[in-house]
A and B are shown apart, each in its own frame.
Chain A
Amino acid sequence: MELFGAIITLIGSLFLFLGALGIFRMPDVYNRMQAGTKATTLGTILFLFGISIGHLECGCFGKIVVLILFVIFTNPVSSNALARASHFAGIKLTDKTMKDDLEKDNIENKGEEK
């Protein structure tokens, strides 16, 4: 059981590493956020889960389930807040970007106000 937990923890840390690599490699803020949100969510979940089943004797399974739920609930909220703030702060998207509906609609809204 301890070995099984250790393997899951290792997979989790691999995902965390890939998330960090993604933050380094992606071209703009939004794509970095994608890597930073997704890879780290599963990474953290697997990491905590691996610890909880590797050390069943500590009786911390319930606490770790709570931690996992908190990560699932708060991670998307914070990344949404960051992405929204950076878009309104006017951070440009990368040149590879196909389209930007939000930018277009905001310009339209401002036009109506004037």
Chain B
Amino acid sequence: MRKLKHSILLFLTLMFFWILFTSLDIQEVTTGIIASFIIILMTIPLQPVLSDIKLNPKSILFTIIYFFVFLKELIKSNIDVAIRVITPKLPINPGIVKVKTKLKSPLGRVVLANSITLTPGTLTVEMEGEYFYIHWIDVTSKNIEGATTSIVSNFEKYLEVIFG
């Protein structure tokens, strides 16, 4: 069942990219379908990672909200780092902090780690189980709870619904 769900999601993703790359011409779509099936057959022995995604109306809505939250954070982070770079005094206060995540699924953790890397002044250095080690350009709280609240929680509440 998990494999079937994974295969269907993988097929949709592959076809989405294929149509973006090419056009809606019937020959090209047929080629895409055949190629997608071959790729799915090759990935059946592997771990069905995409089956961690939950498919219900709430999670789809949250995916869209998450996209915009992520975009906002990405722009904020860029401006933040850019301002730090051009300020003559170089106002940085770096350190590596440890945070804890509630997410269980491997795919959810990967997405969370990537999101952390792309948001203001944080860079995931290492993942070990439910702990992430994060290089933070401006350390404001030194204990695990404080750092978790200010770095992870913002994304976690969306990803928890999407991936569980």
Where the two chains meet, the residues of A that have a C-beta atom closer than 8 Å to any C-beta of B are: 15, 18-19, 21-22, 25-28, 30-31, 33-35, 37-39, 41-43, 62-63, 65-66, 72-73, 75-77, 79-80, 83-84, 87, 93-94, 96-103, 105
Contact = CB atoms under 8 A, between A and B. Distances in A.
Nearest to A94: B94
B75 A79 contact: no
Contact of A63 (B21, B117, B135): B21
Contacts of A26: 85, 90, 92
A70 to B, nearest CB: 10
B125 A21 contact: no
B95 A99 contact: yes
Contact of B90 (A25, A38, A42, A105): A25
B94 A25 contact: no
Interface string B62-89: 0000000000001101100110111000
Interface residues of B, number: 36
B97 A72 contact: no
A80 B113 contact: yes
A62 B81 contact: no
B8 interface: no
Contact of A79 (B95, B117, B142): B117
Contacts, number: 127
Contacts of B121: 34
Interface of B: 17, 19-21, 74-75, 77-78, 81-82, 84-86, 90, 92-98, 113-115, 117-118, 121, 123-126, 133, 135, 137, 139, 142
Interface majority SS (helix, strand, loop, mixed), chain A: helix
B77 A102 contact: no
B86 A63 contact: no
Which of A30, A33, A66, A94 has most chain B Cβ within 10 Å?
Answer: A30
A93 B85 CA distance: 18
B142 A99 contact: yes
Given A34-B121, A75-B118, A25 B93 contact: no
Contacts of A80: 113-114, 117, 123-125
